[in-house]
Structure 1
Amino acid sequence: MDAKLFYRPLFRLSGTLLLGVLTVSLSMAALYLDWTAGRSPFQIQSLTLPLWICALATAALGFSAVPMLQALKAGQSIREDGPQSHLKKAGTPTMGGIFFIPVALMAALAWSKFSPAVVAVVALTFSYAFIGWLDDWQIIRHKSNKGISPHMKLAMQIGFGGAFCLWAALTQSPNIANLTLPFGHLLPLGLLMFPLGWFALVAESNATNLTDGLDGLAAGTVAIALLALGALVSSTPDLMVFCACLSGACLGFLAHNRNPARVFMGDTGSLALGGALAAVAILSGNLLALLILGGLFLVETLSVIAQVSYFKATKGPDGIGKRLFKMSPYHNHLELSGWAETHIVGVFYLMGGLLACLTLTVF
């Protein structure tokens, strides 16, 4: 049976509807989490106030930042071998991370009064945003979908990630040597946390980068993950506020990135978001929780690895192999199977929310 005939959505989703549902859901979740923790939602060290302030600030800033990117001709180049429906997106401004990431970082620094932990996480997030900016700039400059070389990108990710992990180890951050297990148990790993955290930074930043392929997909799913991670690290209020600020900035960015997107975050945003998630998880000992919380990003990454591996393993004398999926990452497979873009995003939001609830229940 044709997948397009099999998959019949019960109702039409729009980008605006998805944004509205996500905004209400995250706001209610933040209010509930603050209430259960005995915090006022209007105090500085909470989840709700930073979420709302950064969301409003980013959404407002976007009305001037997006036209500026358009004027700079910072248009996205679309892969010719990708879904044909994406060709109409060619020319949409990219590199949107340059306006929503700084909003969150500056707000977090101010709110935390330049707490050392927040300064370190902000530095790591900014450095990964810088890598993404270099990549985006090369794409815009050469009018192609090829930025800096993969080897250079990986080397920079490893370098900045290693510096962050070294700082965490030398300052003996309270939770850096412990891995939090379900139901409050701790697993002391000692120096093993150093390579584990290092790997997580590189892997998570690339995973969120792979997820950034549909309008509103990465921004929404990361906003959900960040808010849940903020609740997990509430014993460290400064890191909690950082997560809430960045979650709010993602939500505000969606005002312009929802389907049909007026701007894409580019690698400037997606690499920074993955780095931020991993950095907070490292300092709080929540790498295992992040693995579950970011299950969608893991699936997207594994789909690419499986696709490439299977293609190489089945390659014949003509140099052509077989494919597991119609296209990877997995969201592209769903789209080519007949799923509407907004329905893929809606399902991913729902799954991200369920993973967040599961994580908060067991950790």
Structure 2
Amino acid sequence: MDAKISRLEQQRLGKLSGTALLWMLFSFLSLAAAMLDWQAERLLSPVSLLLPLWGVGAIAAVLGHWVVPMLRSLKAGQIIREDGPQAHLRKTGTPTMGGIFFIPAAIALAVVWSGFSPEVMAVSALTLAYAAIGWIDDWQILRRKSNKGISPRTKLALQVVAGGLFCLWLYTHQPVDVTYLALPLGWGIPLGLLFWPIAWFALVAESNATNLTDGVDGLAAGTSAIAFLGLGVLAAPTSIGLLVFCACMAGGCLGFLMHNRNPARVFMGDTGSLALGGALAAVALLSQNLFSLLILGGIFLVETLSVIAQVGYYKATKNEQGIGKRLFKMSPLHHHFELSGWAETQVVGRFYLAGAVLAIACLLLQAAHWG
């Protein structure tokens, strides 16, 4: 009866279901991949966008039917923060650590599909390292039965170490022009030594930005899939292997969404979200598309800035009792919209749309340069 009432309410309010959003996203990404492959004369080629997108998506979706019940039997249920939106409390007990099945699946297929490309193997190693950091955090949350895992300082230190090792690999295995920052319309800036602290920061910042976005069913996976597909197109002139990697990661996100769409049967946890952000930043650094990632990943940037602004404004407006004012009803920004009356699917659908517009804008800017 409750499910029937929920469906009727959705129809009355004109809200899309999680399933409808998934198939709209799948259709958009498939059509975009097919058109881009056709334009590049690689439609249905092994080094295309479409085939890895579909192949890894199908494998991740099938794996989820086995892994999700296993996580449930292991009582790997998410602990929902009590100070979050009250509507989320009903999600308590939903299995987490979903990143353990779709991240390795995407990476394994990407490595094999790319012919063990050195660039893909390096990016994959960084992605797995961040996934491992996330897994440690998720495991501590489950073990302690609290929404607090390892300390923020420890998590940050591990991210910094993993990012530093990737930067060291870049320094020793990539030509010096990797430090060139490409800008839209063919412009660019040679960063020189300044590239290395920026690269190090980008790896840590992007992984945390994706982590902050993972707060609503289907949000992080869907926006990441859009960003990966766009980044794959931009990386293709530098490395076809990176194109394949991005297509596989986008496919993994789609396969995961089969189980993470609203109402979610599983959450990706830090295992998935930290890995996704690290992978995006690593590909962007290797392909000299770090600035383009700011556009493609604009959703992640805005989510992060909303948290920074919320904390900064609260501290700046503290009174004698130590209580400050809030800029948003809650941060990250998706929670503000929820508390403003948006349904979860409305938040997700509109963020998907914004992510798609940003990706299209970024590709059009690049196309203007390519001519």
TM-score by length of 1: 0.96
Corresponding residue to 1:29 among 10, 13, 32: 32
Aligned counterpart, 1:269: 272
Aligned counterpart, 2:262: 259
2:332 corresponds to 1:351: no
In the TM superposition, residue 59 of structure 1 has moved relative to its aligned partner by 0.4
Corresponding letter in the other structure for 1:274: G
Alignment of structure 1 residues 1-363 onto 2, 5 Å: 11-40=14-43, 42-173=44-175, 175-235=177-237, 236-363=239-366
Give me the whole-angstrom Cα distance separating, in 2, the residues matched to 1:195 and 1:237: 27
In the TM superposition, residue 172 of structure 1 has moved relative to its aligned partner by 2.4
Unaligned runs of 5+ in 1: 1-7
In the TM superposition, residue 184 of structure 1 has moved relative to its aligned partner by 2.1
The CA deviation string for residues 91-113 of structure 1, in whole angstroms up to 9 with x for no partner, is 00000000000000000110112
Q: Is the 8 A contact 1:176 1:283 kept in 2?
A: yes
Corresponding letter in the other structure for 1:329: P
In the TM superposition, residue 10 of structure 1 has moved relative to its aligned partner by 5.9
Corresponding letter in the other structure for 1:16: T
Equivalent residue of 1:187, what SS? Answer: strand
Give me the whole-angstrom Cα distance separating, in 2, the residues matched to 1:335 and 1:282: 34
- Taking every aligned residue pair, what percent have the same amino acid on both sides? 66
Give me the whole-angstrom Cα distance separating, in 2, the residues matched to 1:123 and 1:179: 23
Give me the whole-angstrom Cα distance separating, in 2, the residues matched to 1:184 and 1:10: 46
Equivalent residue of 2:217, what SS? Answer: coil
Equivalent residue of 2:116, what SS? Answer: coil
Equivalent residue of 1:55, what SS? Answer: helix
Give me the whole-angstrom Cα distance separating, in 2, the residues matched to 1:57 and 1:178: 37
Aligned length in residues: 355
Corresponding letter in the other structure for 2:81: R
TM-score by length of 2: 0.94
Corresponding letter in the other structure for 1:184: G
When residues 174 and 19 of structure 1 are mapped into structure 2, their CA distance, relative to the original with a 3 A threshold, is: farther
In the TM superposition, residue 76 of structure 1 has moved relative to its aligned partner by 0.1
Moved over 3 A (4+): none
In the TM superposition, residue 9 of structure 1 has moved relative to its aligned partner by 8.9
For the aligned residues, what is the CA RMSD?
1.2
Corresponding letter in the other structure for 2:196: F
Equivalent residue of 1:179, what SS? Answer: strand
When residues 361 and 10 of structure 1 are mapped into structure 2, their CA distance, relative to the original with a 3 A threshold, is: farther
The CA deviation string for residues 282-303 of structure 1, in whole angstroms up to 9 with x for no partner, is 0000000001111110110000
Equivalent residue of 1:176, what SS? Answer: helix
Equivalent residue of 1:141, what SS? Answer: helix
Equivalent residue of 1:75, what SS? Answer: coil
In the TM superposition, residue 173 of structure 1 has moved relative to its aligned partner by 3.9
